[in-house]
A = this chain, B = another copy of it.
């Protein structure tokens, strides 16, 4: 009971009814449960039994001889008794879900001991209606005319049904792995961006992407699984991590929870890069956040050869300028299918250090080879087609689909915009509160970006501030981890609400300072190289900042 998980199994023993003690079954059970809960520090909170559970709970209580265990949902408005078992449950399976735009990732936990029962992921079936958030918002809010023309249901309903079906599939898969029925899953926690949460609840996302960017709801109250058509235990509470705004969802609150930013004495930073870059700065006294488009080039949405961190994605690239050789590594060592964010950063940093691109991120018009090896390397890797220069990372012979994996000038420009946006976001945010980068002891980097990225190369690009590498701490899929913690601890549930109230959100879409900083960041590493003492600046490039 210490951490007070969202769902608990509590031993109960009540005196059997008699003529002298003729309280009704449910009232008898509530009386016994209230006494235990109060003993265990739950205080006198409203205790209820949902209408649909009165019959089954009373029957189980009676047939077990008025002793056994109740399963209770610990909710903000009170405690719900949703089941009665003849003995303490050996396990109390619950599901934590990272509700991603492209993928759903979930973990089945046992709330009795916090252990993991199963884990897995599945594609978000909403993809059929739109690859990214904006196209889904568009699909959800199609006009009546469009809907009638296509003879389809309302877009919002289709999107909700798609994500619920995906979750039900994933729950079924995880339950099978754990050897239980999906109906044995006693709770679901959901961490996702604001749009995904809206579509999950069937809520109109129209205003999310329109100034002043107002979600329909930030902190939805918990509901029962059955209300959303989920196939888990019907009265399983569905707990959604609260968001702060249209571009700052519960997935970020998860990141803050997992990093502990909201509890630290020292000021720290959290960076989460997906389609957007979302950044939080703060400590136990204050939190400030912003979000901006910095990710697309690194995620596959913009760069032609870009892709998510999936098997076949080139995740690391190195160019050895001593031997003029290129090495790359793909995820799962599969044939190269594209380049993911970390590979893109490695590659562009390497191209800069190999002086194949200049500080503006442009392929040099005619690099002068310094050696035969260098010349051979350039011949082998540089490609000029229709006036556009590209860099061949993996030749056709080694690629997954028989076409070379290349980075074109167009892709490069997109990466440069992304890296500039990222640094502009970070520096705008710190400047808002007068904090220097050097004051930050820890910078938590969430998600696949944090897991795969090499901070050294990101610093070389001028994407991340030039700090000791130990400052950067990858925290993995913090959206999923946050969803797990919410299930496990009342303190985390309290903190998630508290963070929502405490955080100040800065809208960068309309921030002048951001635009100025963005311009200054469109060079490698920066217009002001003094900001990046660890990054070499090449003589022939000096003055290019004026170009």
Contacts and interface: CB of A to CB of B under 8 A. Distances in A.
A214 B27 CA distance: 11
Contacts of A227: 51-52
Interface stretch (A15-23, A117-125, A143-151): A15-23
A87 interface: no
Interface string A14-48: 00011100111111000000000000000000101
A228 B51 contact: yes
Interface in A120-146: none
A24 B217 contact: yes
- Interface of A (DSSP majority class): loop
A21 to B, nearest CB: 8
A50 interface: yes
A223 B50 contact: yes
A216 B46 contact: no
Contact of A218 (B23, B214, B215): B23
Nearest to A216: B58
Interface residues of A, number: 48
Interface in A335-393: none
Contact of A214 (B24, B220, B223, B245): B24
Interface in A186-235: 201-204, 207, 211-221, 223, 227-228
A160 B62 CA distance: 22
A54 B24 contact: no
Contacts of A510: 19
A402 interface: no
A328 interface: no
A46 B505 contact: no
B212 A22 contact: yes
A55 interface: yes
A59 B207 CA distance: 11
B58 A27 contact: no
Interface in A499-527: 505, 507, 510
B212 A26 contact: no
A440 interface: no
B76 A214 contact: no
Interface string A260-299: 0000000000000000000000000000000000000000
Contacts of A204: 55, 58-59
A49 interface: yes
B18 A219 contact: no
Contact of A51 (B48, B54, B201): B201
A399 to B, nearest CB: 45
A536 interface: no
A438 interface: no
Contact of A78 (B19, B77, B215, B228): B77
A374 to B, nearest CB: 52
- Closest 9 pairs (CB-CB, A-B): A51-B223, A26-B217, A48-B221, A24-B215, A24-B218, A46-B77, A77-B78, A17-B214, A77-B77
Interface of A: 17-19, 22-27, 46, 48-52, 54-55, 58-59, 62, 76-78, 201-204, 207, 211-221, 223, 227-228, 243, 245-246, 505, 507, 510
14 contacts: A19-B211, A19-B507, A19-B510, A22-B213, A22-B246, A22-B507, A26-B220, A49-B220, A50-B221, A51-B201, A51-B220, A52-B227, A54-B217, A77-B78
Given A23-B218, A46-B78, A58-B204, 19 more contacts: A17-B214, A19-B211, A22-B213, A22-B245, A23-B214, A24-B219, A24-B245, A25-B207, A25-B216, A26-B218, A48-B221, A51-B220, A51-B221, A51-B227, A51-B228, A55-B203, A58-B216, A59-B204, A78-B78
